Structure 1
Amino acid sequence: MTISGIGKLLLLSICAFLYVKHWESQDSGDKALGIARFLAQSPIVIEAVIQNSPPLIEDKIERLRASIGAAFIVVGNKDGVRIAHPIKERIGKAMQGGDNQQALLLGESYISYAKGSLGHSVRGKTPIISKEGEIIGVVSVGYLLTAIDNKVSHFLVFFLGMAVLVIFANAIIANFIARRFQQSIFGFEPEAFGRLYKEQQVTLSTLREGVLSIDANGKLKSINKSACDILNIDPKGALNRPFIEILPDSDLTKLLVTKQSEHDIELLLNGQAVIANRELIKIDGQVVGAVSSFRRKDEISELMLQLSQVKQYADLLRSQTHEHRNKLNTISGLIQLGKIEEVQQIIGQESLRYQKLIEFLRESISEPMIAGVLLGKSERARELGLVLEIEEGTQLSHLPSHIRAEDMVTIIGNLIDNAFDATLNHFDTEIQAITVSVTDFGQDIIIEVEDKGCGLPQAFSLKELTKRGVSTKSDKGRGVGLYLIQQLVDQYRGAFTVRSEQGKGTLMAVYLPKELH
Structure 2
Amino acid sequence: MSLSRQLLLLQMCIVVFVVTAVAGVSLVQSSATFTREEGRRMLGAAESLATEGLLRQSTALTVGGETSEEIEVQARLQEPIGIRLESARASAGATYAILQGADGDVLGSTLPTGADDLALDPSVAGGASWSGVGERYGRRSIEAQAPVFGDGDEGRPVEQLGVIVLGRTYPTRLEVLGSAAPSVFAYLALAMLIGAAGSLLLARRVKRQTLGLEPSEIAALVEQREAMLHGVREGVVGVDMRGGVAFVNDEALQLLGLERPVPGTSVEELGQEAEVTSILRGLHREQDLAVAVGPRLLVLNNQPVTVRGRQTGWVTSMRDRTELLGLQHELAEAQAGTDTLRAQVHEFRNRMHAIGGMAELGQTAELGEFVQAVVDSLDARLAEVGGSIEDPAVAALLVAKLSRADELGVDFSIAEGARLRHHDPVLSADLVTVVGNLVDNAFDAVGRGGEVVMDVEDDGERIEIEVRDSGAGIAAGDVERVFEPGFTTKTCADVKGHGFGLALTRMACARHGGAVTVSHRGGAVLCAELHVDEEVPHA
Per the TM superposition, whether the score is higher than 0.5 is: yes
1:309 corresponding residue in structure 2: 330
Alignment equivalent of 1:37, drawn from 35, 40, 43: 43
| 1:471 and 2:498 are equivalent in the alignment | no
Secondary structure, in 3 states, of the residue corresponding to 1:471? coil
Matched residues in 1 for 2:230 and 2:456: separation? 52
Q: Deviations over 1:279-332 (max 9, x none)?
A: 79978667789989798xxx94x775554334212221134336747997x99x
Q: For residues 177 and 364 of structure 1, do their structure 2 counterparts lie closer, same or farther at Cα, with a shift above 3 Å needed?
A: same
The CA distance in 1 between the partners of 2:254 and 2:482, in whole Å, is 34
How far apart are 1:405 and its partner, in Å?
Answer: 4.8
What is the identity, as a one-letter code, of the residue corresponding to 1:124? I
The question of whether the paired residues in 2 share the 8 Å contact of 1:466 and 1:483 is answered with yes
Task: Quote the offset at 1:437 in angstroms.
Answer: 3.2
Q: Provide the rounded CA distance (Å) in 2 between the counterparts of 1:151 and 1:514.
A: 93
Partner of 1:109: 131
Instruction: Give secondary structure in 2 for the equivalent of 1:183.
Output: coil
* Corresponding residue number in structure 2 for 1:158: 186
Map 1:52-451 → 2, pairs under 5 A: 52=77, 62=87, 65=90, 70=93, 74-78=97-101, 79-80=105-106, 82=108, 93-95=112-114, 101-103=118-120, 109-111=131-133, 123-131=141-149, 132-141=159-168, 148-149=176-177, 151-165=179-193, 167-169=195-197, 171-176=199-204, 178-180=206-208, 182-183=210-211, 189-196=217-224, 198-200=226-228, 202-203=230-231, 224=250, 227=253, 259=281, 300=322, 305=326, 307-321=328-342, 324=345, 341=357, 355=375, 357-366=377-386, 367=389, 368-377=392-401, 386-391=408-413, 398-401=419-422, 405-422=428-445, 432-439=448-455, 447-448=466-467, 450=469
Q: Which structure 2 segments of 5+ residues have no match?
A: 1-5, 62-76, 125-129, 150-158, 362-366, 535-539
- Return closer, same or farther for 1:15/1:390 CA change in 2, 3 Å cut-off: closer
**Aligned to 2:498, what secondary structure does the other structure show?**
coil
Distance 2:415 2:360 in 1: 32
Q: Deviations over 1:36-73 (max 9, x none)?
A: 2112222117427616466589589759946x7x3756
Aligned residue pairs total 461
**Alpha-carbon distance between aligned partners in 2 of 1:179 and 1:201, rounded to the nearest angstrom:** 25
C-alpha displacement of 1:180: 4.5
CA contact (8 A) 1:76 1:139 kept: no
How many angstroms apart in 1 are the aligned matches of 2:419 and 2:207?
74
1:457 CA drift (Å): 6.6
1:192 to partner: Cα distance? 0.6
Query: Residues of 2 paired with 1:186 and 1:149: CA distance?
Result: 41
- For 1:426-458, what per-residue CA distance to the aligned partner results, in whole angstroms no more than 9, with x for missing partners? xxxxxx324333456998976545356xx3574
The alpha-carbon distance between structure 1 residues 486 and 135, as it changes in their structure 2 partners (threshold 3 A), is same
Shift of 1:492: 7.8
Query: C-alpha distance in 1, partners of 2:22/2:433?
Result: 85
Residue identity over aligned pairs, in percent, reads: 13
Classify the secondary structure of the residue corresponding to 1:472.
Answer: coil
Q: Distance in 2 between matches of 1:457 and 1:250?
A: 27
Alpha-carbon distance in structure 1 between the residues aligned to 2:455 and 2:28: 106
Pair 1:437–1:187, CA change in 2 (3 A): farther
The runs of 5 or more residues in structure 1 that have no matched partner are: 335-339, 425-431
Give 1:35 deviation, angstroms: 2.1
Counterpart of 2:67 in structure 1 is none
Taking a change above 3 Å as real, the CA distance of residues 438 and 216 of structure 1, as seen in their structure-2 partners, is: closer
Q: Does the 8 Å CA contact 2:258/2:270 hold for their aligned counterparts?
A: no
Q: C-alpha distance in 1, partners of 2:220/2:504?
A: 46
The one-letter amino acid of 2:452's match is: V
**CA pair 21-381 structure 1, distance change in 2 beyond 3 A:** same
Q: Tell me if structure 2 keeps the 8 A contact 1:489–1:496.
A: no
Does the CA-based 8 Å contact 2:99-2:106 persist in structure 1?
yes
TM-score by length of 1: 0.63
Does the C-alpha gap of structure 1 residues 199 and 325 become closer, same or farther in structure 2, counting only changes over 3 Å? same
What letter matches 2:41 in structure 1?
A: I
Give SS of 2:485's match.
coil
> What are the residue-to-residue correspondences of 1:448-467 with 2, within 5 Å?
448=467, 450=469, 455-456=472-473, 458=475, 460-467=477-484
Question: CA distance change for structure 1 residues 412 and 240 in 2, over 3 Å: closer, same or farther?
Answer: closer
Deviations 1:162-194 (A, max 9, x none): 442354145315523541553398997133134
User: Aligned equivalents of 1:9 and 1:109: distance in 2?
Assistant: 40
Rounded Cα–Cα distance in structure 2 between residues aligned with 1:129 and 1:15: 43
Residue matched to 1:428:
none
State how far apart, in whole Å, the 1-side matches of 2:214 and 2:95 are. Answer: 70
State the structure with bigger RCO (CA 8 A, min sep 6), 1 or 2: 2
Match of 2:66 in 1: none
CA apart distance, 1:33: 2.7
Structure 1 residues 373 and 289: CA distance shift in structure 2, 3 A: closer
Give the Å deviation of 1:215.
11
SS in 2 for 1:164: helix
RMSD: 5.9
Q: Displacement of 1:81 after TM fit?
A: 6.3
